[in-house]
Homo-oligomer: A and B are copies of this chain.
């Protein structure tokens, strides 16, 4: 169960509610987010909701049978909208588009990417400054200096920054420059990182784990939410299967299933989902028609020279065409 507490609740009132909840054999977890305070009751016995609902200090109460609670649509039917400021919004009925290179490589690349995004009306730029790499000898990103450089140009152009944070100690230095903290597929169950991002006043986008289940993705979101941060985005990016004709198996089933289970916006990543440049468009358009709130993809002025992920990165001309096709598809879907 989820109990939304009134802002002006008195301590004695809260104590009484906790006592009542415990009396029903539910464990009460208090959660304070940037938006409100909740009591999350964990238990499984049946009870009459009216026994609690009219106690003083309670704004609302919901029974949520899912084992994740605050991210469940059973609690909050209206979709969550993430406002990044300056008119950039995720989840408000316009297709959210995030594009950019796999890795931030230098000033020239930042500059030309931003120019491309502006020309295409894209307001969110993706890019990595800390790169998780299987081999310790591979390029690991430009780090905080790269981020500062990127920030300088992006702010000037009104472009929002989406970038991966890999560990707790990076949050603080990155905080000023980042608009959406991305949790990568290898960190979906890095619970300490999720806990720490709960304390942050910036939106967080969580990618589905390399072979994570849909439920695990929702649990990971519950970590951040119950840690205090309600501004969450989920991202389907393909899962690991036996099929090796593509890098991953894009699980578009996850889009309608997630949209039904949670009120959070759901984004698709076709670049990682298929991992083959010339097929990114097909999977991007399919993602839109499957109901995604947005798409994140990799683009580079010269994919053949990209430091990383070049094989799945489209060039700016392809990107420009893709954006038009995605928007037309999104519009068609909304017209149904």
Q: Which of A89-97, A117-125, A240-248 contacts B (4 or more CB under 8 A)?
A: A240-248
Contact B226 A136 (CB under 8 A): yes
Binary per-residue interface labels of chain A (280-302) against chain B in the complex, 1 for a CB within 8 Å, 0 otherwise: 00110111111100000000000
Chain B residues whose CB sits within 8 angstroms of the CB of A137 once the complex forms: 27, 29, 40, 42, 226
Number of interface residues of A (CB under 8 A): 74
In the complex, the chain B residue whose C-beta lies closest to that of A245 is: B214
Knowing A166-B192, A168-B168, A328-B332, the reply to whether A213 touches B132 (Cβ < 8 A) is no
Q: Once the chains are docked, how many angstroms separate the CA of A215 from the CA of B293?
A: 33
Residues in B whose Cβ lies below 8 Å from that of A29: 137
A316 lies within 8 A of chain B by Cβ: no
Copies per assembly: 4
For residue A290, which residue of chain B has the nearest CB?
Answer: B286
Given the known inter-chain contacts A166-B191, A249-B239, A285-B289, please indicate yes or no for A135 contacting B222, CB distance below 8 A.
Answer: yes
Contacting residue for A332 out of B192, B243, B287, B332, CB 8 A: B332
Given contacts A245-B257, A252-B286, A283-B252, contact A216 B134 (CB under 8 A): yes
A80 interface residue (CB < 8 Å to B) = no
Chain B positions within 8 Å of A289 at CB level:
282, 285-286, 288-289, 329
Interface residues of A in 194-242 (CB under 8 A from B): 195, 209-211, 213-216, 219, 222-223, 226-227, 239-242
CA distance A147 to B285 in the complex (A): 39
User: Which one of B222, B250, B278, B336 contacts A325 once the chains associate, using CB atoms below 8 Å?
Assistant: B336
Say yes or no for A6: interface residue by CB 8 A criterion. Answer: no
Residues of chain B within 8 A (CB-CB) of A222 are: 135-136
| 8 Å CB interface, A129-180 against B | 132-137, 166-169
- Which A residues contact B (CB, under 8 angstroms)? 27, 29, 40, 42, 67-68, 132-137, 166-169, 186-187, 189-193, 195, 209-211, 213-216, 219, 222-223, 226-227, 239-246, 249-257, 260, 273-274, 276, 278-279, 282-283, 285-291, 325, 328-329, 332-333, 336
Ranked nearest first, the 5 interchain pairs of A and B with the lowest CB-CB distance are A211-B211, A286-B290, A286-B286, A285-B289, A167-B192
